[in-house]
Amino acid sequence: MNVLRFFIPPLAYLIVSFVGLTSRWRWLGREHLEAARRVKGPVIYAVWHQRQIGFLWSHRASGAKVLVSRSADGELIARAMALFGIAACRGSSSRGGAVATREMLDSLDAGFDVGLACDGPKGPAREIKPGILYLAQKTGLPIVPITNAASRRLQFSRSWDHFLFPLPLSRAVVIHGAPIFVGPQDDLVAKAQELKTELDRITDEADCEVAS
């Protein structure tokens, strides 16, 4: 079993790379990312847990750092991400959360983008966890909602988020949403709803783009 787990990250790298290289990708909403960068530089990416594979490919070698749980599966994910040039901040709400938050704050301060599956690692699906709002409020940096979709994909209906895995030879799209700022006095419940609404909107748009 340990030998098998050793080969999982490089195998995942090869599979995702094959999917990415054989698919036709379009990017929409880049003006939102450009507007966010003009504010202070680094951004906080928000993606639904279901769409992480597309993010892995679209942000390869970007220097972004992504929150990954401290579980055994999280270790495999972190090793696969490293092959794509994406670093991991290890922790979750239940294990190592304070350490991971400090690492993400330090990374943002150093000029790196960070990314969070903002309904992960265990859901409920498409419900915003407070960590991403805390980062935005603490730093004053914008949250940039981002999503993706592929015309050919596997959907794991038994997983809590109905996880999607894009397939080769797809028509694929990446969409940035409007940046969201969280001020010191903002109502975090209202901001969570604002982020959810924008992420849901662009995710529905992405699915429509590849279906047409």
For residue range 180-203, list pLDDT tens digits in order.
999 999 999 999 999 999 999 999
Closest residue by Cα to residue 105 from 78, 138, 73: 138
pLDDT recorded at residue 134:
95
Contact 55, 206 (CB under 8 A): no
Residue 186, token pair as written in the block: 């903002």
Contact 6, 94 (CB under 8 A): no
Of 154 and 40, the structure prediction assigns the larger pLDDT to: 154
Beta-strand relationship, 114-117 and 65-68: parallel
Residue written as token pair 């992504």: 66
pLDDT recorded at residue 73:
79
pLDDT digits (tens, 9 = 90+) for 23-53: 999 999 999 999 999 887 899 999 999 999 9
Residue 206 CA, chain-centre distance (Å), reads 15
pLDDT recorded at residue 40:
78
Assign 99 a pLDDT band (cuts: 50, 70, 90).
Answer: confident
Distance CA 146, CA 13 (A): 21
pLDDT recorded at residue 57:
96
pLDDT recorded at residue 121:
87
Task: Please determine, for residue 1, whether its predicted confidence score (pLDDT) is greater than 80.
Answer: no
Structural domain boundaries in the chain: 2-211
Closest residue by Cα to residue 119 from 49, 54, 197: 49
Task: Please determine, for residue 72, whether its predicted confidence score (pLDDT) is greater than 90.
Answer: no
